[in-house]
């Protein structure tokens, strides 16, 4: 079993024969944008420095992030929560793409209005003419040169918080609290391997055995989250952190896509009282629900993944209005994101 070629531009499946489990290619452009100290970008306090360092500079970069993609959706949420809209512009490709690239088919004349390109691929090739990997979102592009800077999605959101602090809005949330950072990284790692990526390991499994293993691991983690969130409003306690952002983008897609399309069907998210209430709580906060477009999400998965859904038929449900129903999480206290 081989993945459809279209997936090369998004989720990068790397199984190549029947019987293989889904293996996400996590090698991205390792460059990072960091705070300028003494006239040069400094070495970041956390994480690897395997590529080039680029300076934080308002107006220099454009974040390209499709609403349809959960990994890109993270960066849209974090940019919004931190109030970086006037500092880093946002380009949004449409929900579907071909085997070559995400395209700006939602923009007038099918071109990004700032970069002037039809395909995100053009920004990758402008810097790496022989770029060998999939064209993924999110990607940060230097506006003046039209060249991609990085597509390393975990570090993009991390650095929007840690390196762009001088440009955050007043009252921006502390998405990486120092006092829980070590525990939070462990929580996020489990969420990534078992949930964020776990739904893909179910959907792209190349054998019954691989699927069964992925399914069991996913639901073990979902049950763990249901228990963890029973007596705390957010994953790390009373405030929203990056961990909540990373979990939310998967939960927002669960019933609309992953439950059926990826065969993650032990039960729906809406049938898990705690996780469903938690997801609605976040959805109804500024910066979260406003970034979700269920029509784009469904169009992406059901149209692009032709190996899983060869008819290309996009389901009409579920009813998105359910996300606006009362969640009752206020009784747990905490400090939700307030309008600004």
- Give yes or no: residues 253 and 282 share one domain: yes
pTM as predicted = 0.95
Q: Is residue 298 in some structural domain?
A: yes
Is there a domain that residue 17 lies in? no
Residues 148 and 64 in one domain: yes
What pLDDT does residue 89 have? 98
For residue 142, which phi and psi values (nearest 5 degrees)?
Answer: -75, 120
Q: Flag the least confident range among 21-30, 140-149, 165-174, 230-239.
A: 21-30
Specify whether 291 is located in the same domain as 244: yes
Instruction: Please identify, among 137, 167, 197, the residue that sits at the C-terminal boundary of a domain.
Output: 167
Using DSSP bridges, classify how beta strands 147-150 and 40-41 pair: parallel, antiparallel or unpaired. unpaired
Q: What is the pLDDT of residues 247-263, one digit of tens each?
A: 999 999 999 999 999 99
Q: How far is CA 156 from CA 3, 130, 163, 268, in A?
A: 27, 23, 10, 31
Residue 340 lies in a domain: no
pLDDT tier for residue 20 given thresholds of 50, 70 and 90: confident
Scanning 96-241, the segments in alpha helix (DSSP H) are 121-127, 153-162, 181-191, 198-203, 208-228
Structure confidence at residue 25 (pLDDT)? 82
pLDDT value at residue 24: 83
Q: In this model, does residue 332 exceed pLDDT 80?
A: yes
Q: Which residues contact 251 (CB under 8 A, 6 or more apart)?
A: 269, 275, 278, 279
pLDDT at position 11 is 52
Mean predicted lDDT score pLDDT of the chain: 94
Q: Are residues 188 and 267 in the same domain?
A: yes
Given a cut of 80, whether residue 2 has pLDDT beyond it is no
Q: Which residues are catalytic?
A: 69, 200
In 10 A of CB 22, how many CB atoms? 23
Q: Dihedral sign for Cα 52, 58, 64, 66, please.
A: positive
Give me the pLDDT at residue 169, please. 98
Domain shared by 100 and 39, yes or no: yes
* Residue 254 dihedral angles phi and psi, to the nearest 5°: -65, -60
Question: What tens digit of pLDDT does each residue of 21-68 get?
Answer: 888 888 899 999 999 999 999 999 999 999 999 999 999 999 999 999
How long a stretch of residues is the chain?
A: 340
In terms of Cβ atoms closer than 10 Å to its own Cβ (0-12, 13-18, 19+), residue 135 is: buried
Q: Are residues 249 and 185 in the same domain?
A: yes
Tell me, yes or no, whether 162 and 181 share the same domain: no
Pinpoint the alpha helices (H) of 284-334.
294-304
Residue 337 forms part of a structural domain: no
Q: What is the CA radius of gyration of the chain?
A: 19
Residues 31 and 84 in one domain: yes
The count of structural domains within the chain is 2
Mean pLDDT on 319-337 = 98
Q: Are residues 183 and 162 in the same domain?
A: no
Torsional sign, CA 44, 78, 295, 330: positive
Q: Which two tokens stand for residue 73?
A: 């959706």
Among 167, 191, 226, residue at a domain's last position: 167
Domain containing 32: what range? 7-12+23-167
Select from 119, 149, 167 the last residue of a domain.
Answer: 167
Largest CA distance in the chain: 57
Q: Say if CB 255 and CB 306 are below 8 A apart.
A: no
301 within domain boundaries: yes
CA atoms within 13 A on the CB side of 12: 14
pLDDT for 325: 98
Q: Give the β-pairing of 139-142 and 61-64.
A: antiparallel
Which one, of 190, 171, 179, lies nearest residue 335 by Cα?
A: 171
Does residue 269 have a pLDDT over 60? yes
- Report pLDDT digits (tens) over 107-137: 999 999 999 999 999 999 999 999 999 999 9
Per-residue pLDDT band at 10 (split at 50, 70, 90)? low
Q: Is the residue at 281 inside a domain?
A: yes
| Res 138: pLDDT | 98
């Amino acid at each position: 079993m081989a993945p459809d070629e279209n997936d090369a531009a998004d989720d990068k499946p790397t199984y190549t024969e029947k019987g293989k489990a889904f293996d996400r290619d996590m090698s991205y452009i390792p460059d990072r944008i960091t705070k300028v100290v003494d006239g040069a970008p400094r070495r970041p306090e956390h994480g690897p420095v395997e590529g080039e360092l680029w300076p934080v500079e308002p107006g220099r970069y454009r974040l390209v992030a499709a609403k349809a993609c959960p990994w890109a959706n993270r960066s849209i949420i974090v940019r919004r929560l931190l109030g970086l809209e006037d500092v880093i512009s946002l380009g949004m490709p449409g929900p579907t793409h071909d085997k070559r690239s995400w395209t700006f088919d939602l923009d007038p004349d099918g071109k990004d209005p700032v970069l002037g390109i039809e395909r995100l691929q053009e920004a990758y090739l402008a810097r790496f003419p022989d770029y060998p990997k999939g064209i993924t979102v999110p990607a940060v592009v230097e506006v003046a040169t039209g060249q991609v800077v990085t597509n390393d999605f975990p570090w993009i959101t991390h650095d929007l918080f840690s390196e762009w602090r001088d440009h955050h809005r007043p009252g921006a949330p502390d998405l990486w609290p120092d006092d829980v950072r070590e525990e939070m990284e462990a929580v996020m790692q489990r969420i990534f391997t078992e949930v964020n990526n776990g739904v893909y390991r179910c959907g792209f499994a190349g054998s019954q055995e691989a699927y069964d293993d992925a399914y069991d691991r996913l639901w073990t983690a979902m049950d763990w989250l249901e228990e963890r969130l029973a007596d705390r409003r957010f994953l790390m306690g009373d405030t929203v952190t990056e961990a909540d952002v990373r979990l939310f983008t998967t939960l927002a897609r669960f019933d609309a896509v992953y439950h059926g399309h990826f065969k993650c069907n032990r039960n729906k998210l809406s049938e898990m009282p705690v996780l469903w209430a938690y997801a609605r709580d976040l959805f109804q906060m500024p910066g979260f629900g406003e970034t979700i477009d269920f029509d784009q999400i469904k169009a992406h998965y059901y149209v692009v993944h032709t190996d899983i859904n060869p008819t290309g038929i996009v389901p009409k449900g579920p009813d998105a209005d359910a996300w606006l129903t009362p969640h009752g999480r206020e009784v747990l206290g905490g400090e939700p994101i307030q309008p600004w």
